[in-house]
Structure formats: structure tokens, C-alpha cells
Amino acid sequence: MSQVGQVVGILRKLNGEYQSSTPKKLKLIDAYLVYVLLTGIVQFAYCLLVGTFPFNSFLSGFISTVGCFVLAASLRIQLNKANQSVFNVSPERAFADFVFAHIILHLVVVNFIG
């Protein structure tokens, strides 16, 4: 019982920290990440439910969500001012990379979706 209480307490503290210290831009990206995650979960649940036919469609859809998630996460990392020491790119450059990578990703996904 106390363990559950401890976990709940930690989570509440985490949430509070997050809400206060994260800039708005990053929060927007986090919301996007959650959206992509949910979409991926729905697709996977569907696959588990009705089977993998047609497999290529499932794969492309799922990989699309995974790719979007990864690209958005990398954009977030690059935009986070706390990481500016490691990455030496401007936010605009990060965004341009994001757009370019997305075009490639979508091209591949649509090719594979069949």
C-alpha cells in the first residue's frame, strides 16, 4: 500500500516539474508525440485483433507512426535549449531537416502500403 502511495507521489511531482519547467514549444511537440503514440497503439491493437493480413499495410502504417515519433523526438531534442551545448544547429535547420526527413518517410510508407 505504501509502495503504491510512493509511486503516486513521485508521479505527481514529476508532472508538476514538467508543467512548470518545459517551454511551450516543447510541450506542443510532446502532445504531437503522444498523438503519434496513440495512433501506433491503435494500429497494433487492430493487427492483434484481426491478424496480419495484409501484412505490408500493417507494417507500413506501424512503421510510419514509429518514424514520425522518432523524427519528432529528434526535433524536440534539437530544439531543447538545454542541449544546445551538444547540438550546434539552429532551430530552423532542425525544422528543415524534420520536413525533409518526413518527405522521405512518407514516400517510403506510401510505396509500401500497397
Residue 58, helix vs strand vs coil: helix
Cα(102)–Cα(67) distance, integer angstroms: 8
Residue 14 or 45 with smaller CB distance to another protein:
45
Residue 82 or 110 with smaller CB distance to another protein:
110
Are 62 and 44 spatial neighbours (Cβ–Cβ below 8 Å)? Answer: yes
What does the DSSP 8-state code read for residue 83?
A: G
**Min CB(15)–another protein separation in Å:** 14
83 binds another protein per the rule CB under 8 A: no
- Which positions touch another protein (CB under 8 A)? 24, 27-28, 31-32, 34-36, 38-39, 42-43, 45-46, 49-51, 53, 90-93, 95-96, 99, 103, 106-107, 110-111, 113
